Structure 1
Amino acid sequence: MNNRRSLSWLISGVLPLLMLALPAGAETAVRADQEEEAGMSLVPRPLSLGAENAVSTEQAQEVGTSWVFSPGSLEEPQVQATNAHSSMTHAPEQLPNAPIPQLSDLDHPATTVDEWMQQIAQAIVQVTGVQVNPTDTGVEVILETAEGQLAAPVTSVVGNALIADIPNAVLALPEGEEFQAASPAEGIALVSVTPRADGIRVAITGSDAPPVAELRTETQGLVLSVTPGTEIIGTEDDAIQVIVTGEQDEGYNPSRATTATRTDIPLRDIPQSIQVVPRQVIEDQQAQDIDEIVRNVSGVNLSNSAGGIAEIFNIRGFEGTVLRDSFRRGVPFELLDTTNIERVEVLKGPSSVLFGQLEPGGIINVITLEPLADPFYSVQFQVGNYEFYRPSLDFSGPLNDDRSLRYRLSASYLSSGSFRDFTDSERYFVAPVLAWDISDNTRILLNAEFLNDTRPRDRGLVAIGTGVADIPINRRLGEPFDEDNVEQWRAGLRFEHDFNEDWSIRSAFQFTSRNTDSLNTETYSLDEATGEGSDRFFRQQLGRLEESYALQTDLTGSFTTWGISHDVLFGVELSRITSRIPDFFQQTAPINIFDPDYVEGPRPRLTVAESDFADDFLDTTNNIGIYLQDLISFTDNLKLLIGGRFDFIDYESINLLAAETTSLYDDAFSPRVGIVYQPIETVSLYASYTRSFTPNLFSRTVDDSRLDPERGTQYEIGVRSEFLDGRLSATLAAYQITKSNVAVDDPDNPNFSIQTGEQRSRGVELDIAGEILDGWNVIASYAYTDAIISRDTSPLEGNQLRGVPEHSASLWTTYEIQEGDLQGLGFGIGAFFSDSRQGDFGNTFRLPGFVRTDAALYYRRPSFQVALNIKNLFDVRYFEASNSRVAIDPGLPLTVIGTLSINF
């Protein structure tokens, strides 16, 4: 008990102090080259001179100047000025001062509309042609102009691309609205010229590193002499490092993820199956919820919708845990909106080594959007059948000249009917984010979310005999007055600082609050002969309040001992979750599923005295986790990942109506060991052993002794391969997970439990994602899953686990025309297959198998996109999930969604 009280005191006392102290020391600092590893969007470093040191275009022309951009120090890029007679190099502060202009030399402002329009016309220069000519050292890019002088470009580096933005230009090309040349020379992957709201953008992408460009002005226009760059990172000569301004778009095949190790390492180095569904897939499919995103991943399926108000998933036969930016969802049934989702990472198998108490299925980590360094403004409007309307916006950009302060604002509104009777929904969502680079080495990120969602709780259909009742899928068995109203807040702070090139610290805090008012009618049993819901109750939860506080602090570092490199992670996590759940029940008239008679008018509120039974609990869970991980690289192709975590849990539940308190103190150790061997660069072979734990909070033995935590243990082997020069990847994995210490009914004392239960899942999974040809993308999966109750004291032993199909598969592919008059026109087609599944743990009924087919047609231009998505193209009747015989979720019928997006 002293340990429990100490733990509670530590979290309640230390956590607020850490919150207050978190920004302290912000003047010390994180290297820009490691910012991407820390998981933050980064600030571009423009390769241009400051205004006080700028060389005018006129001065450049007088001496025949060409500007050469070459690697210099991290503080200032060097600019080289050359002519036919001399060669001299100036640091920016050494450039000669321009003559002081006289008042008579200055241009006078326009005094009439005609003069103003004439000045605008003279200022804007038309680019009438683009030439890309190979040279001995690379390529020469020529921007042809009919007349006028192009302004000096503002350049920056994004990944392997050198970007040159020209503000006073417009494209007037005879062949189309933009220009592209793929692989024009060795070391140069792409040259593109595209329009922008404030000019044009020239992007030159290197195959392995950003190219180097020399700019010069000629009578025919602007000429860029491009030389392929060389990737030089951290040499003794202190060469410039590649500074990335954000997550590089890798299409359908991202190469990195943070969920598996809390560090940004390549997927090929991770000894555990992990798949990433990127933003492009989400947009191509116009996914409206998390379920439509993760169905692209093998072994993942919806397990339960909690009455249509949340999403609970199965991964490899066991319940999975949903994270938000590597934080566990702070409160049960926390709602997620897709408006600000960047990507979704799915880590399969036990993962308590980094994330504490979890079910053994795995993790679905939802990564949200972060601010951009370049201005970006997008407005979108979606409309569909069932009176579906959803406008949204996404604005981002810098707030100051050096782009050290950036913002992002995502917002949406949803108003929709449903194929289910009287099941309308409405949602407001807004998510502002602010990123601040305090110095080159230190930065912080602030984010917030507000969501208000109103819809009824819908338990779906019911089972009769061994199948689903043959009633229309639109028939809802609640009442028209049913309603759930959720008001949800989230706020977070992330602080990062690099001490040097090798060591850095990251600390993140998150607060979540959810307030729910719920009035719903639910059927708990059914007379299958008559179709009457025999146990039917009106359930009221007014003022249900849930809050969570979580703080994660990670210290990461790299060092070498005896020629063996180590990438280590040491972390501490503190969390507290509190909930107040007033629950009132009153039995109400049954409803006949074949001929329902609904109640008209609003439902009056219940008091405790009017309730047939009521609960009112105040629950508090405190947790401390301490973890250590080391990725040991014996050679470039042989790596060992080892780690472990200690968790200490303090749980207290107060029954406010009965004035009773229940307390539990528990602890657990969770290890992980994995090895990766890469016989060739494109193939990774791996094997791993991982464990998880979940406290047994709600079961007790006949002698009231404490139950040990449930433990999940996984053995996994697999291979990850890359094809087509890394554009396509595939992961094949085989595994076995055993969940032990499961509390089951005591055969001698039916009202109590014993801890001998066991569940087992084994299977094989295949995931494929990437680009087959230019413009042809694919993401596909297959899973074989054998999940059973392997040990029990009841007839359940040997039964299959609820909602787990033995075979499941998915395929989604798109093709977008890359050139010509129809460039930007794309098509998509996909199929999602599920074998039949058991509807409950008693295996009393089955959900039938199904194949759902989706299709898409879209047209994309830089300034706008239009799309038409058809879901369940052949209007197949299917069932997504079930929680019991009286809670079966029907699948979406034929649905059409049109989307218009405008970027400016």
Structure 2
Amino acid sequence: MRSKHLSAGGKYTRENGVYASNYVYGANGDARIGRLYSPLDQETLSAVTGLRGELATGPVSHRINLAANGIWQEKRNAFENTAAGSRGFGNLYEGQPVAEPPATSVSGDIHDPDTTAKVQNRSLAVSDTLGVLDDRVLLTLGVRRQSIGADAWSAASGARTSNYQESITTPAYGLVIKPTEYLSLYANRVESLQQGPTAPAAALNNGEMFAPYRSKQTEVGAKLDWGTFGGSLSLFRIEQPQGVLGGDGYYRVDAEQRNRGVELSLFGEPLDGLRLLSGATWTKAELSGTTGGRDDGNQAVGVPKFQFNLGADWDVPGLPGVSLNGLLLRTGGQFVDSANDYSIPAWTRVDLGARYRTKMDGRGVTFNAMLENVADENYWASANGGYLTQGAPRTLKVSATVDF
């Protein structure tokens, strides 16, 4: 038996806004506040294709998969910001208004930004899943050839700042053992070439693209599925470089980040029409190989020690096609710097929504409405990259999908 698939898509993004860049220098939240205007246009195209086939060699079954994909991306942006000496004084927690600092430097044409980055990511993978004992034991062996090409230009001068073409061939292994119809035990290891990070707009070397790196992930776990009830438990380990926004304002890839953790998920339908889904993750993200060993053993920047979520979806009796849903999110504290001197607290958010499924002209149509952050909580959502991302206020989102 053979099957093939092909999918393609594209996305265009335009961002245009004025932002306050807070450079915290005191434990009590004292900060120097700068102004950043960063118009951005970004175009992304992607394509995925593959071929699957099944055959048998004696008592061994084979599921062969050949897959190819590619992503092409182009960015055009410019920057208008405030020099260090012209930043205003403020505090993260006092809530006092601060006069907008002046823009003292401009990089690029903010009215018509030039191309500052082009990235191509392509891969070709082949794998074979061998099954024995009526497929109660499955062994997957695979190999992947991945290439990343990137070019970057300075928004200020137009000079090329990055130009690389990296390719690697990585293996993939996976083992699944099914002692019963409902229980699966598994283990896998994968490696991949990841695009290097780009210095954020808040960094003095904003837009600088760093070389790609190899990430490694190992996971073991168990899955239990009784149809209307089930869950999974896994242990994982991920190794990758760590990018940090330093106290001098420059973004660098410094040290290695090793994430070790436990992930638990549960799902079920305790009542007809009521579906529950929950998950929890505990992570220890440790740094090693930092400059001079200064921050070895510290928690990595922007990685919460725990995450918890609980979701519910309920079909309203007597109203065909109408469902109500809710989501509770709880995320642990995160460190802002690799020295672990500054951190943001844990936060909790509640979202509530509704969905209506119907047919129009014979086509399935789904209308969705979601009110995020119902309590309008103020919180720092993330410290990823060494800079703070503020949680969105109470937000209403509506959408509609049509089946073709």
Instruction: Tell whether the structures are fold-level matches, with TM greater than 0.5.
Output: yes
Once the two structures are superposed, the pairs formed by residues 407-418 of structure 1 within 5 Å of their partners are none
Equivalent in the alignment of 2:141: 642
1:727 equivalenced with 2:256 (yes/no): no
1:568 aligns with 2:71: no
Task: Report the CA distance shift for 1:590/1:679 in structure 2 as closer, same or farther (over 3 A).
Answer: same
Aligned CA distance change for structure 1 residues 833 and 535 (closer, same or farther; 3 Å): closer
Give the CA deviation at 1:778: 0.7
Given residue 175 of structure 2, which amino acid in structure 1 is its aligned partner? I
d(CA) in 2 for partners of 1:752 and 1:879?
A: 21
Structure 2 residue 105 is the aligned partner of structure 1 residue 612 = yes
Matches within 5 A, 1:156-305: none
Q: Does 1:547 align with 2:47?
A: no
Q: Which residue in 2 is equivalent to 1:633?
A: 131
Structure 2: runs of 5 or more not aligned = 109-113, 200-209, 360-364
The question of whether the paired residues in 1 share the 8 Å contact of 2:347 and 2:381 is answered with no
Q: Does 1:836 align with 2:336?
A: no
**Cα offsets for 1:472-519 (capped at 9, x unmatched):** xxxxxxxxxxxxxxxxxxxxxxxxxxxxxx233333343444444x34
Is residue 390 of structure 2 the alignment partner of residue 889 of structure 1? yes
1:39-438 alignment, distance < 5 Å: none
State the Cα distance separating 1:592 from its structure 2 match: 3.7
C-alpha displacement of 1:759: 1.3
Q: Note closer, same or farther for the CA distance 1:679–1:664 as it changes in structure 2 (3 Å cut).
A: same
> Quick one: structure 1 residues 825 and 505, their matched pair in 2 at CA, closer, same or farther if it must change by over 3 Å?
closer
Residue-by-residue CA offset, 1:152-178 (whole Å, 9 max, x unaligned)? xxxxxxxxxxxxxxxxxxxxxxxxxxx
| CA–CA distance in structure 2, aligned partners of residues 623 and 874 of structure 1 | 41
Corresponding residue for residue 184 of structure 2? 684
Aligned-partner residue type, residue 225 of structure 2? E
Q: Which amino acid aligns with 1:612?
A: S
Using the TM superposition, give the Cα deviation of residue 658 of structure 1 relative to its aligned residue in structure 2, in angstroms: 5.5
* Whole-angstrom CA distance in 2 between matches of 1:855 and 1:690: 37
**Structure 2 contact 139–175 (Cα < 8 Å) conserved:** yes
Contact 1:807 1:834 in 2 (8 A): yes
Residue equivalent to 1:665: 165
CA positional deviation for 1:638: 1.4
Residue among 786, 789, 792 paired with 2:284: 786
Letter matched to residue 649 of structure 1: I
Q: 1:536: Cα distance to partner?
A: 1.5
Residue equivalent to 2:9: 510
Check the 8 A contact 1:767/1:781 in 2, yes or no.
Answer: yes
1:622 aligned to 2:120?
yes
Aligned-partner Cα distance in 2 for 1:872–1:697 = 30
Is the contact made by 1:652 and 1:663 (CA closer than 8 Å) also made in structure 2? Answer: yes
State the secondary structure of the residue aligned to 2:291: coil
Separation in structure 2 between the aligned mates of residue 676 and residue 827 of structure 1, nearest angstrom: 36
Instruction: Quote how far apart the aligned CAs of 1:528 are.
Output: 4.8
Matched, 1:711 2:214: yes
Provide the secondary structure at the position in 2 that maps to 1:633: strand
Radius of gyration: which is bigger? Answer: 1
In structure 2, relative to structure 1, the CA distance for the partners of 1:596 and 1:645 (3 Å cut) is same
The one-character-per-residue Cα deviations of 1:72-117 (angstroms, maximum 9, x if unpaired) are: xxxxxxxxxxxxxxxxxxxxxxxxxxxxxxxxxxxxxxxxxxxxxx
- In structure 1, C-alpha distance between the alignment counterparts of 2:128 and 2:286, rounded to whole Å: 34
The residue that corresponds to 1:84 in the other structure is none
Alpha-carbon distance in 1 for matches of 2:22, 2:316: 54
* Aligned equivalents of 1:561, 1:782: Cα separation in 2: 42
Residue 799 of structure 1 aligns to a residue in which SS? coil
1:811-830 residue pairs with structure 2 within 5 A? 811-816=310-315, 818=317
Structure 2 CA distance for partners of 1:565 and 1:842, relative to 1, 3 Å: same
In structure 2, the residue matched to 1:652 is: 151
CA distance in 1, matches of 2:372, 2:230: 27
* Superposed displacement of residue 712, structure 1: 1.8
| CA distance in 2 between partners of 1:861 and 1:507 (Å) | 28
Q: TM-score, normalised by structure 2?
A: 0.74
Separation in 2 of the partners of 1:828 and 1:886? 32
Deviations 1:817-855 (A, max 9, x none): 65xx79989776653322322233332222222444456
Measure, in 2, the Cα distance between the counterparts of 1:575 and 1:868: 31
Report the 3-state secondary structure (helix = DSSP H, G, I; strand = E; otherwise coil) of the residue aligned with 1:679. Answer: coil
Return the alpha-carbon distance in structure 2 between the equivalents of residues 805 and 661 of structure 1: 33
What SS class does the counterpart of residue 801 from structure 1 fall into? coil
Find out whether 1:805 has 2:312 as its counterpart. no
Amino acid at match of 2:146: D
Regions of 4+ moved over 6 Å: 529-532, 821-827, 858-870, 895-901
Aligned counterparts of 1:507 and 1:865: Cα–Cα separation in 2: 25
- Report what 2:21 is aligned to: 523
Q: Deviations over 1:129-148 (max 9, x none)?
A: xxxxxxxxxxxxxxxxxxxx
DSSP-derived class of the 1:680 partner: coil
Report the residue type matching 2:341 in the other structure.
T
The 1:690–1:862 alpha-carbon spacing in structure 2 relative to 1, beyond 3 Å, is: closer
What is the TM-score with the length of structure 1 in the denominator? 0.36
The question of whether the paired residues in 1 share the 8 Å contact of 2:42 and 2:73 is answered with yes
Are residues 598 and 574 of structure 1, via their aligned partners in 2, closer, same or farther at CA, if it must alter by over 3 Å? same
Question: 1:884–1:842: structure 2 CA closer, same or farther, 3 Å change rule?
Answer: farther
In structure 2, the CA distance between the partners of 1:639 and 1:696, relative to structure 1 (3 Å rule), is same
Residues 267 and 276 in structure 2, CA contact (< 8 A), matched pair in contact too: yes
Contact 1:568–1:629 (8 Å) recurs in 2:
yes
> SS in structure 1 opposite 2:50?
strand
Aligned pairs, how many?
Answer: 369
SS of aligned partner of 2:46: strand
Q: How far 1:628 moved relative to its partner?
A: 0.6
**Where in structure 2 are the equivalents of 1:448-459 lying within 5 Å?**
none
Whether the 8 Å CA contact 1:744–1:792 is kept in 2: the answer is: no
1:630–1:662 CA distance, 2 compared to 1 (3 A): same
1:847 is aligned to 2:344 = yes
1:732/1:767 contact within 8 Å kept: yes
2:27, 2:342 within 8 Å by CA — same for their partners in 1? no
Cα distance, 1:815 vs. partner? 4.7
Q: More strand per residue: 1 or 2?
A: 2
Partner of 2:238: 737
Separation in structure 2 between the aligned mates of residue 861 and residue 655 of structure 1, nearest angstrom: 49
Higher relative contact order (CA 8 A, sep 6+): 1
Paired letter, 2:65? L
- Check conservation: 1:696, 1:743, Cα contact below 8 A: no
Task: Structure 1: give runs of 5+ residues left out of the alignment.
Answer: 1-501, 700-706, 746-750
Structure 1 position 537, deviation (Å): 3.1
What amino acid does structure 1 have at the position aligned with 2:2? Answer: W
Q: Which has the higher helix share?
A: 1
Corresponding residue for residue 265 of structure 2: 767
